[in-house]
Amino acid sequence: MTRKIIAISVLLICINGASLAQQTMSLKQCMEYAVENSMKIREQKTFTDDERISRRDAILKAFTPDISAGTYVYSNFGRSVDPETNTYVSTTSLNNGYSISGAITIFNGFSALNNMKISRTAIKIGVDRENLIRDELCLAVMESYYNVVYFQKLYKILALQVNTAGDALALARKQEELGQKGYTDVIEMEAELADRQYQMVSAENGLTDALLTLKDLMFWPLEEKLEIDTSMADDDVPVLVVPAHDKEQIISSALKTLPSIAIAKGNLENAKLDLKTAKWRFTPAISLNAGWSTSYYTYPGQAGYVPAPFHSQFRNNGGEYIQMSLSFPIFDRLSTFSNLRRKKNAYKRTSLEYEQKTREVEAEVIRAIQDCEGASAAFHQADKMAILHEEAYRLNLKRLEQGLISALDFQKASDNWLNAETNRLDALLKLYLKRSVVKYYNGISYINQ
């Protein structure tokens, strides 16, 4: 009984594994898989973790003292000072000491607090860089995904036309035998079939290349099969209506949500804090130091000398100190002035970079909206053309079967239908892509659309 249960369990595991391997993946699933396995995102996470460590170090440096402890032991074989009588002796001595000290900076021009703020902003920048890499990867996966959909649908369209051209060729050969068609018509139909077969092979090659690119972006095992959902490009897809866009609202949303803007803003904030720290370096620094030390000594080479016990000397020789220091920068070879000028220049650069990035985003939003509206108009026109050319193709196919048109006229109708279907498919996928870009600028990430 137990063996049967184990066998059934193994069978179910195999069936589930096979179903997972044959699962058709949607665009969202492809993007999630790519993000989960992205090496660049993993690498950026390590940099972000470094910034968290820097944040912790900045907090500890601002609020905790620097504590150190030490010990020493040495033997003196010549003239030395007796710690007890403070006179010179000329005998071998053994000295052992212990100390512990601590120091904390009370005021250093607010550099510690500024470093805390800088490290906090650096963490946010690291997270924004992860989001930026994620969004760029999702967009690349989306473009590659649509390329695969395009070539898959194109291959199916060409396969259908290959079958139609084959049937038409067989009919032309029968009509030639009956004397209804000439040899020229048969040759033209053979050329039509060969042309469609060549186009189908080219589409298959394009599909193979597009699939390889998608697998590479997703970090999908190159040897494993990848099935994707192509229902978005079905012939019965509803007519897409692109609503009117509020450019100002989308620009405002993009400036609030885009990781690239957040990174530029974070760099500007840190540059401003660095400049403040450089200005405060002209003020004095105050620090507090405290410590305790003790020692033990003996004269092993002196006859009849009995040293005090270790625990007694350890207790009696102990001493403490506390010190507060105040230092003024007077002349450091103008390094403080040079550092201030460099920080001013860095702040100017980051300000210009932030303004440039803001302007670029505004231009990108306007361009994305225009592209989306243009892609919508192009798709609706391509859809009308595809419907008309498909109807013309079907009518000409019936006329060809009845012998009412030549093979050359039918080939022209077939080419027109193929071009119209290809243009419609291309316009549809471009519209999907352009619409996703506009949604992204409007605050919706690619993976959540």
Higher per-residue confidence, 242 vs 175: 175
User: Quick one: pLDDT at residue 12?
Assistant: 38
**Would you say residue 4 lies in a domain?**
no
Q: Are 224 and 172 in contact (CB under 8 A)?
A: no
Do 34 and 154 lie in one domain? The reply is yes
Q: Which of 131-135, 169-173, 395-399, 430-434 has the lowest mean pLDDT?
A: 169-173
Do 247 and 294 lie in one domain? The reply is no
User: Last residue of some domain: 327, 345, 378?
Assistant: 327
The pLDDT tens digits of the residues spanning 358-367 come to: 999 999 999 9
Mean pLDDT score across all residues of the chain: 88
How far apart CA 242 and CA 378 sit, in angstroms, is: 12
How far apart CA 336 and CA 331 sit, in angstroms, is: 9
Do 36 and 71 lie in one domain? The reply is no
Do 272 and 139 lie in one domain? The reply is yes
Amino acid at 263: I
Do 310 and 344 lie in one domain? The reply is no
**Would you say residue 179 lies in a domain?**
yes
The count of domains in the chain is 2
Region of 190 on the Ramachandran plot (φ > 0 left; ψ -120 to 50 alpha; else beta): alpha
The half-sphere exposure of 318 on its side-chain side, counting CA atoms within 13 A, is 10
Q: Are 144 and 27 in contact (CB under 8 A)?
A: no
User: pTM of this prediction?
Assistant: 0.82
Tokens of 160: 């259908």
How far apart CA 68 and CA 83 sit, in angstroms, is: 25
Tokens of 76: 């003196």
Do 372 and 247 lie in one domain? The reply is yes
Do 92 and 163 lie in one domain? The reply is no
**Would you say residue 202 lies in a domain?**
yes
**Would you say residue 113 lies in a domain?**
no
Do 195 and 323 lie in one domain? The reply is no
C-alpha triplet 385, 386, 388: angle, nearest 5°: 65
User: Quick one: pLDDT at residue 3?
Assistant: 40
**CATH for 408:** 1.20.1600.10
User: Quick one: pLDDT at residue 67?
Assistant: 95
Q: Tell me the average pLDDT across 16-29.
A: 68
- The residue range of the domain holding 430 is 24-63+122-284+335-448
The half-sphere exposure of 187 on its side-chain side, counting CA atoms within 13 A, is 3
Do 176 and 303 lie in one domain? The reply is no
The pLDDT tens digits of the residues spanning 46-100 come to: 999 999 999 999 999 989 999 999 999 988 887 888 777 778 888 888 899 999 9
User: Last residue of some domain: 327, 348, 378?
Assistant: 327
**Would you say residue 250 lies in a domain?**
yes
Q: Which of 16-20, 169-173, 439-443 has the lowest mean pLDDT?
A: 16-20
Highest mean pLDDT among 9-18, 207-216, 235-244: 207-216
User: Quick one: pLDDT at residue 237?
Assistant: 54
Do 200 and 153 lie in one domain? The reply is yes
DSSP state of 237: P
When pLDDT is cut at 50, 70 and 90, the band that residue 14 belongs to is very low
Give SS3 for 327. Answer: strand
**Would you say residue 78 lies in a domain?**
yes
CA distances from 433 to 232, 242, 440 (A): 12, 13, 11
User: Quick one: pLDDT at residue 238?
Assistant: 54
pLDDT at 215 > cutoff 80? yes
Do 313 and 360 lie in one domain? The reply is no
**CATH for 318:** 2.20.200
**Would you say residue 16 lies in a domain?**
no
When pLDDT is cut at 50, 70 and 90, the band that residue 235 belongs to is low
User: Quick one: pLDDT at residue 205?
Assistant: 96
Distance of CA 399 to the CA centre of its chain: 57
How far apart CA 343 and CA 345 sit, in angstroms, is: 5
Do 296 and 422 lie in one domain? The reply is no
**Would you say residue 18 lies in a domain?**
no
When pLDDT is cut at 50, 70 and 90, the band that residue 126 belongs to is very high
When pLDDT is cut at 50, 70 and 90, the band that residue 259 belongs to is very high
User: Last residue of some domain: 298, 327, 356?
Assistant: 327
Q: Are 157 and 178 in contact (CB under 8 A)?
A: no
